[in-house]
Amino acid sequence: SQQGEEDPQALSIQEGENATMNCSYKTSINNLQWYRQNSGRGLVHLILIRSNEREKHSGRLRVTLDTSKKSSSLLITASRAADTASYFCATDTGRRALTFGSGTRLQVQP
């Protein structure tokens, strides 16, 4: 079963609006990561947040982590058409490999 589950599965917004995606997970983690995937391409690492951190920023990205609720959110501010992609959360539980969620498909309309 998936450790991380993203919500919503799909999101369509207008350019300039903010996009928020959520991720829930089941077990304790060392860190949580967000990745982006353009259609038919490999995934690209966006940001990592450790279990003892609550918020992290990188450019137009803002990630929050609530370990009590086992959830994280990714906020993309002032979205652009180029942000159109699928976004995945991945959890590091200290085991062999990262576990990925099923992703949120973001469509930013110009």
Binding region for another protein (CB under 8 A) out of 12-20, 28-36, 64-72, 73-81: 28-36
Can residue 94 be called a binding residue for another protein (CB under 8 A)? no
- Which member of 29, 35, 70, 71 binds another protein (CB under 8 A)? 35
- Which member of 48, 64, 73, 93 binds another protein (CB under 8 A)? 48
Can residue 87 be called a binding residue for another protein (CB under 8 A)? no
Cα distances from 15 to residues 22, 29, 35, 97, in angstroms, run: 20, 34, 21, 35
CB of 16 to another protein, least distance (A): 27
- Which member of 12, 18, 45, 54 binds another protein (CB under 8 A)? 45
Question: Rg of the Cα trace of the chain?
Answer: 13
Give 103's contacts (C-beta < 8 A, 6+ positions apart).
6, 9, 37, 86, 87, 88
Give 27's contacts (C-beta < 8 A, 6+ positions apart).
3, 91, 93
Token pair in block for residue 72: 């994280």
- Which member of 52, 59, 68, 97 binds another protein (CB under 8 A)? 97
d(Cα 23, Cα 95) in Å, to the nearest integer?
A: 19
Provide the binding-site residues for another protein, judged by CB under 8 A.
2, 31, 33, 35, 40-45, 48, 88, 90, 92, 96-103, 105
